[in-house]
Chains A and B, each alone.
Chain A
Amino acid sequence: MPAVQETIDQVRGIDIDQYKYGFETFIEVDKAPKGLSEDIIRFISAKKQEPEWMLEWRLDAYRRWLTMEEPTWARVDYPKIDFNDIYYYAAPKNLTGPTSLEEVDPELLRTYEKLGIPLREQEILAGVTSSKVAVDAVFDSVSVVTTFRKELEKAGVIFMSISEAIREHPDLIKKYLGSVVPTTDNYYATLNAAVFTDGSFVFVPKGVRCPMELSTYFRINEKNTGQFERTLIIVEEGGYVSYLEGCTAPQRDENQLHAAVVELVALDDAEIKYSTVQNWFPGDAQGKGGIYNFVTKRGDCRGARSKISWTQVETGSAITWKYPSCILRGDDSRGEFYSIAVSNGHQQIDSGTKMIHLGKNTSSRIISKGISAGKSQNTYRGQVSIHRRAENARNFTNCDSLLIGDKCGAHTVPYIEVKNASGQVEHEATTSKISDDQKFYVMQRGIPEEEAIALIVNGFVKDVIQELPMEFAVEAQKLIGISLEGSVG
């Protein structure tokens, strides 16, 4: 029971508006003027030393974006965003491509320390080479440190920032960028295509099992800069990669926009496991501040027998709008989605997945656990679509919601579309509070109410937690505990 005890201690120690990661790092920043225009895009592209075709790609996206309207279908409510009041580019200044940690600004290293980056990653950043996790740390839009690149290169794995990849591997970028999430897929994805400043690029060649888990820390730091990340992961035939993404952001008053795009491509027999822990600033006790998280994540099981698995733990952000999806194009491909979404305070979450079955014998599994507390609104929105030629498709969906307190809301909006008789689709959803019987059972064994609830909540999300890589699982449990602080009892 150590993890549970730990959670409880965490919960006790922290007030809801004392966001653990609420601090700012003062280092010099190179910034584009506020606002969005073709000139800003040219500026970003020039800063990134991008080739002409990339600039054209961005400008095309921008011109299309101008004709689009912000989507309003999600169950989230926020004041209108002024897209001209945002810095679209901010980069730490002393950037000459450090190859060793000594070259990194010590202020930045202290930030990592404050972030509480799990020990293993800190070791790496401190130069301890025995560890096996590679970190591509994203510090305000620019990849500052890329560790273990050499070891990965030995295996043939390319792991670098997307801007570097655009310069060094234009063929791969041209072939795959925008092939899963088209430029005009949706409002935010189009905006991202126009102004993305950085992100990660992973390429795992044929037959290679990536020798380590890849991890990225996103960190939004400079005031009022939107974070527009672009991640592209390609795994060729028979390859495997496990990618971890974790996020924290400092406390601030004005809402911040984050519109990332993540594209995954799995060819024949390839497997991609993508895990996210997201704990950006959710706003204070009055619901002020907090990150707007409008993310487009999509995986394409392009090859036969490929597999893509999304696991997410969402505890942060004021507003979350996120639907990691799988397009099951290859025959016998498989998509999985495991999610824990915890909302407290004034948070609003509208998240879920899409499983698009196109190939034969495709299968998908969706396990979603929503916990709403405080005054939050938590929505699961998912789609399972079995297309006409998707013979023998199989889907199982389970989404459970737990309500803590009578001021919050939990909503479930699944869309199920079946066009092939050989398919088998099952969906189940429940919403309830923690039953008095369960609580009584635990409490009569001498456990106080608050701890009893934490224990039950941990049990509720266990199905998903166990899908996470070990170091993430521990962090995730802590986060859930922190997020629910003040809501129990």
Chain B
Amino acid sequence: MNIQTTNRLTAAETALIESYMSQVGELPGDGSVAALRDRLLDDLKKSGLPTRRVESWHYTDLKTLLRSVPTSSPAPTATQVDALIDGAHVLPVLQGQAQAAIVVEGVDVTAFSASLTDGTAAAELMALDKDDAIGKINGSFARDGYRLAIPAGISVETPIELQAVHGAGQVHARFPVSVGAGARATVIERHRSATGEAAFISSISEIVLEDRADMVWVILQEQGAEDTHLGQIRVRLGAESKLKLFVVNAGGKLVRQELRINVEGEGSELTLRGVNLLGQETHTDVTLVLGHNVPHTNSTEIIRNVVFDRAKGVFQGMIRVAPDAQKTDAKMACNTLLLTDDGEFSVKPELEIFADDVICGHGATVTDIDKNHLYYLRSRGIPENVARAMLVNAFVAEIVEELEDEKLVEALEGVISAWLEKHA
């Protein structure tokens, strides 16, 4: 049980390495980027995909769960879809390729491949730590994406939609975003499958909020039932900045959403809300690592999960309060409706606290629909299946309503209702 074994490559690991070898000449990037890619892949080869022995992957044993990786097919089989919200600026990434120069007023938009080619991306491709498998994979393979820079003081009123659509194959995208001092913007990061054929997707968004920046970031993941989605968002919050981060998972076969957030400025505020709609055979993991590194910062996190069929869900939420981060106020809740005996949900809310003058708390519940609630509705003549649907809907809709933008709320509620109708 505690015996050390050398890494024997699995089929998926071999496929990843072979895929890299076959593309190595054509992956965009200058010498420094290429060297970094080699190193990241070499790291991955040595460590292998993480197993449950790696604490941060305890409930998502990627080595076992990732059975195969499709070969990379750069031929675009995907086309752009309508924006989630009418009138949003759509920045499409089709089969991992950013589209020709798109102008968004007030925002500096460039294709990420340009940063790879000129080598400026080399500093960004790093993995965060030795267990950062997503960082290693994405760093090795990333081809494109968008770089957004919102200058100081600019308010971007219309939401920006980063629309990643793919068919079969592999997609590795990257979205570095900087929001200048006092700037404001809403970004929707949307991932969806066009064909439903098996694909392997990795995506990293790296967001830097300067002082007093104010941002709403929505991740809407609607991958196909055969897809593997490895997403990561890296965030740095400056002083008095505000971030509302909404994560909606409504698809995919094997999904990991890593939220790596560092609160680095005093007076800043993070609001994280998550809705995980889990059905069929999906394995969906949301992992939060939140560092409160300076005094006087607030955060609240609420994650709501609904589990149908044979789905498996995971939420790991680690809040780390640094030694000098006094007056931190962090609250986290994870509520799960487990609607089936074939499904399962695992929660690991973690507190790591090195400062004394803090208020930190977390709560976690896992249960079925409350019988009293059901009875209340049924006694008013509502059939059981309708009553159940109403209660499930209310359970997650409550979270979405916290987004103040009406159009956004409406759109997300639409996605959720449609999903529930299909699965409930």
Query: Could you list which residues of chain A lie within 8 angstroms of chain B, going by C-beta atoms?
Result: 67-69, 71, 73, 184, 187, 386, 388, 401, 403-433
Contacts and interface: CB of A to CB of B under 8 A. Distances in A.
CB-CB nearest 8 A-B residue pairs: A403-B356, A419-B344, A430-B361, A412-B351, A69-B2, A418-B366, A416-B347, A427-B364
Contact of A388 (B3, B341, B365, B367): B341
A432 to B, nearest CB: 5
Nearest to A431: B360
Nearest to B321: A431
B5 to A, nearest CB: 12
A411 B364 contact: no
A401 B367 CA distance: 26
Given A69-B2, A71-B2, A429-B351, A421 B343 contact: yes
5 contacts: A69-B4, A184-B1, A411-B351, A414-B347, A427-B362
Contact of B368 (A187, A388, A421, A430): A421
B2 A423 contact: no
B356 A433 contact: yes
B350 A187 contact: no
Contacts of B113: none
Contact of A430 (B4, B360, B366): B360
Contacts of B358: 403, 431-433
Contacts of A409: 352-354
Contacts of A413: 348, 350-351
Q: Which of A69, A405, A420 has the most CB of B within 10 A?
A: A420
Contacts of B55: 73
Interface residues of B, number: 39
A68 B2 contact: yes
A419 B344 CA distance: 4
A425 B353 contact: no
A428 B362 CA distance: 6
Contacts of B347: 414-417, 427
Contact of A411 (B3, B350, B356): B350
A425 B350 contact: no
A415 B361 contact: no
Interface in B354-394: 354-368
Nearest to A410: B353
B208 to A, nearest CB: 29
B345 A418 contact: yes
Contacts of B353: 401, 403, 409-411, 431
Interface of B: 1-4, 55, 58, 323, 326, 336, 338-341, 343-368
B348 A416 contact: yes
Contacts, number: 128
A423 B355 CA distance: 36
A411 B368 contact: no
Contact of B367 (A184, A419, A423, A433): A423
Given A403-B353, A416-B364, A417-B345, 16 more contacts: A73-B55, A401-B351, A406-B326, A411-B352, A412-B349, A415-B346, A417-B344, A417-B347, A418-B346, A421-B341, A424-B366, A425-B367, A426-B365, A431-B360, A432-B359, A433-B358
Nearest to B356: A403
Contacts of A386: 366
A187 B2 contact: yes
Nearest to A69: B2
A193 to B, nearest CB: 15
A67 B3 CA distance: 7
Contacts of B365: 424-427
Contacts of A187: 2
Contacts of A411: 350-353
B346 A68 contact: no
B10 to A, nearest CB: 23
A134 to B, nearest CB: 38
Given A432-B358, A432-B359, A418 B2 contact: no
Nearest to A379: B352
Contact of B341 (A73, A406, A407, A420): A420
Nearest to B362: A429
A424 B341 contact: no
Contacts of A388: 341
